[in-house]
Structure 1
């Protein structure tokens, strides 16, 4: 008979305690792993929320800096409001010492715009205000003026230019009758659009972006035309700042346009320099140009008519484009505003 092995009570208790400690250790390790994972997940969530708050805070600060830049520009134009004419020699048109890298709080702002120089054929960055009165006002311009402008800027496409000009005229006029039987559009056209039909405004445009609602005004055409059109002002054009395309639209013709452009450039043939010639009085435009270069009888007659109907030497409305930066931060914010010479804000858009 085999004798039973006797298990000592102390040894069994010791083994039980060891197993128990092992289980507790495993549970503890798993708990630590779980809590660590949870902490990481929660930490990521908190970090993302903090980053979002920081970005929102940064965006607000950028907007405030841009807005402050616009206020400074308004003050600058106010200092010159007694002037009776405006040209590219004016500080508000281009002066980096005033409008470039203006320090505001913990950031800076640039008041700048892209300027196409007809004389050199190059686009340059200028630091200052954009003259809205150098542009064609789509609320007041007659159809023929818009036709000529569009033909000049849209690769000479006469039919398309006529259709687009007529469509804008019918968009803004108060009636529902077509201004031309072919190519234009009125309420019936817009009501029958497949996607999101609407009606013609039958009122003046309040913002230039409304032109995208007009028949045939696609994104490409808008990009080409936007720097030559405005919805602000009385429709008179500043002869000192108008581009070649606008002179052409007014019916000035190639030779007369070239003579006006050469007069403005001065001896150094560069726009915006100290030797520029400036038209200082609308009644004297014809005589000033006649003293600079010879004008034929027909040119005198044409210029006299165009001056009486379309031209002035002062500007009353300006666009300000403010681009704000925070120190040592990559993000920017842009605000565009249109102001009157008296400082009234006519338009405000945050990008």
Structure 2
């Protein structure tokens, strides 16, 4: 009888030890992940602060003028904006930047100038449609549909499309939601708009913004955006060469 009690006691203690060990291991893994996340978050914040510091330093040194040296330092500066070491984490400040007269995109070590992009909150349907056609290489009618969907999403009571193509489309989705009918607050809200797939969003992202008053910085605006505003390709080429 005593032997049986001893065996049961040993079994109970073994199970308890295994459970405690598993619980401790899970807590250690969780703490490790939280620590890793904190380190990554700290590194990201350091990268942002580095970019802000560089920008403010450049503005003050150049008396808030957009000099050629300042342009180089802000938008193509691997010496200061790549390989930023924070603890065990390395951060690069990278911008997907459009270049040339076409829709080509490259990654550079530097800051993105949102003032050089097309503001989807104020651009009209025609400009948006031109941009869609140029960047995505789609037909004019398809580009116009996407432009209409964007404007319908952002503007209250100014519907270009009715019925299935507006309210009913969003209400009939598997996970329905309402049209916002207010300006975009984040650029990734585009993914909520009818017809904007992840592929389309990724293609448009280097050319559009939700910031600014609609005017663009002639020193950084992509050639495709200038064409979307109606400038001839020959004029766009001259502007790009001059700057």
TM-score class, shorter-chain normalisation, is 0.7 to 0.9
Indicate yes or no: 2:56 matched with 1:78: yes
Alignment of 1:87-126 (within 5 A): 89-118=71-100, 124-126=106-108
Aligned to 1:178: 159
1:1-351 equivalence runs, <5 A: 24=3, 32=10, 35-81=13-59, 82-85=63-66, 89-118=71-100, 124-175=106-157, 177-179=158-160, 185-186=165-166, 188-190=167-169, 192-263=171-242, 278=243
For residues 170 and 86 of structure 2, the distance between their equivalents in structure 1, rounded to whole angstroms, comes to 49
Structure with greater proportional strand content: 1
Please report the RMSD computed on the Cα atoms of aligned residues, expressed in angstroms.
Answer: 3.0
The structure with more radius of gyration: 1
Normalising to structure 2: TM-score of the pair?
0.83
- Displacement, 1:110? 1.9
Partners of 1:63 and 1:252 in 2: CA distance: 43
Distance in 1 separating the partners of 2:196 and 2:102: 29
TM-score by length of 1: 0.60
State which drifts further: 195-204 or 96-105: 195-204
**CA separation in 1, counterparts of 2:122 and 2:164?**
18
Q: Which has the higher helix share?
A: 2
**Gaps in structure 1 of 5+ consecutive residues:** 1-19, 264-277, 279-351
Partner Cα distance (1:77, 1:197) in 2: 42
Q: Classify 1:198/1:44 alpha carbon distance in 2 versus 1 (closer, same or farther; 3 Å).
A: closer
Report SS of the residue matched to 1:126: strand
Q: Is the 8 A contact 1:140 1:235 kept in 2?
A: yes
Secondary structure at 1:115 match in 2: strand
